[in-house]
Structure 1
């Protein structure tokens, strides 16, 4: 999916939306959640697929040494390593990455299940993946149904439920560790201010699965093989009790 112009990339369009007042607030809340879920991860390489500079501030405290961005559009940042490539065919060696961040990558890619399979391939055993996505069962999902046909960002993406993503992760070889929901207010710019905090707290307590965004952390598990005993090591069958005992040569028989 490598392209030369920003407007051809859905991730570039989403990046532009994140610079809006509502988008900046969403990025702030998502970044806090991602930072918390990454706080226990260690290693050498963290791969981020899709969005660019808005997430690097959230990753500034990450304990993984090197942060790599894979994008099809130019990145507006001066530090770190950026590589160009398709999210469905990662140009990376197997078992080489310690953690992967997918910030709405599955919402805007053409083949989300292939992306998860590629992520599983490049992650080391016990490596983590963090998936951020828009929840179809929420106020944000209702806006998506109303405005998705107008091709407006972010409503033109493919919203799914956290349960569906968890099922895909398990099929790809992951075990889900954490799933959090946020953004319980309607997606209106004037709402996401100080007045939204009580509704956010209420939503976390009373209807946690209806947040506008889900954030899932999963770990790549590698099954250990149980060696089988060779056939020759099995015990021989016991002779039947009627077998004749051998006698010593030359002995008399009475």
Structure 2
């Protein structure tokens, strides 16, 4: 994780920040967005890695049959069904997940590209990945620079651009399906009133790339002569007795 100030993990700090007025407004926008992006996504398994509390109700509306969390809290605080592990070494079988949701997980991961490699490994062909990230070229990114890496979450995260993340996804064979931007209000509590709502509407219309959060949905493409179709007649194994080793890393948690 990044060098955020505080005794607990940055993602645990981010979970608490979501309970503040500014964080709650962002959570409202992000929950509506992830519901929209999952509306036409089907399958057996949806896995969410990172902050889980703020999105529990939003993911409950998904048409994917099983929804599994890998929370940022230690095991005693995690609510079932939950899996404990590292985002860069996911304890899941290869080609077993239909959709993966990373809400700001990459903003605080010490090895974000390793997390994306694991995402590519566990997703089935044509599986979807949804990424929320704080946008470096926005007022939120400016505030992050002013606060510095030693401040609290979310400002201590590594803000990036949507285009950098898209390049990383492309390198792994993902094809971008959707790009959106959220939260055009400045990162100030006083911006939550009616004037802030007008700023939000103007930003979406006039400066769509300057939102405080970027949202990406991409699909895992696999080059093959025969189209690969997921089998709906039998349930795939998510946690086999012996987790398959990855060729990209030494092992799994």
TM-score range, shorter chain: 0.7 to 0.9
Matches within 5 A, 1:35-46: 35-46=35-46
CA displacement 1:209-245 (0-9 Å, x = unmatched): 010000100000111148xxxxxxxxxxxxxxxxxxx
Within the alignment, does 1:151 sit opposite 2:129 as a pair?
A: no
- How many residue pairs get matched? 221
CA contact 2:123–2:220 (8 Å) conserved in 1:
yes
- Secondary structure (helix, strand or coil) at the match of 2:106 reads helix
C-alpha distance in 2 between matches for 1:123 and 1:11: 23
Which residue of structure 1 aligns with residue 182 of structure 2?
182
Find the aligned partners of 2:101 and 2:193 in 1 and give their Cα distance: 27
After superposition, residues 1-254 of structure 1 pair within 5 angstroms as: 7-74=7-74, 78=79, 80-225=80-225
Root-mean-square deviation (CA), in Å? Answer: 1.7
Return the index of the structure with the highest Cα Rg: 1
CA contact (8 A) 1:22 1:188 kept: yes
What CA deviation, in whole Å up to 9, does each residue of 1:113-162 have, x standing for no partner? 01001001000111000000000000001100101244221100000000
Deviations 1:56-112 (A, max 9, x none): 11112110111111134237565x410110000000000110100000000000000
Output the CA distance in 2 between the equivalents of 1:34 and 1:158.
22
Unaligned runs of 5+ in 1: 227-254
From the superposition, tell whether residues 182 and 174 of structure 1 become closer, same or farther in structure 2 (CA, over 3 Å).
same
Query: Matched residues in 2 for 1:18 and 1:145: separation?
Result: 20
Deviation at 1:168, TM superposition (A): 0.4
Distance 1:199 1:97 in 2: 38
Secondary structure of 2:133's match? strand
Counterparts of 1:192 and 1:72, CA distance in 2: 28
CA distance in 2, matches of 1:134, 1:149: 14
Distance in 1, Cα, partners of 2:200 & 2:25? 13
CA contact (8 A) 1:136 1:161 kept: yes
CA distance in 2, matches of 1:111, 1:86: 11
C-alpha distance in 2 between matches for 1:150 and 1:114 = 24
Structure 1 stretch 179-188 or stretch 190-199: which is displaced more? 190-199
Superposed structure 1 runs of 4+ greater than 6 Å apart: none
CA distance in 1, matches of 2:21, 2:205: 27
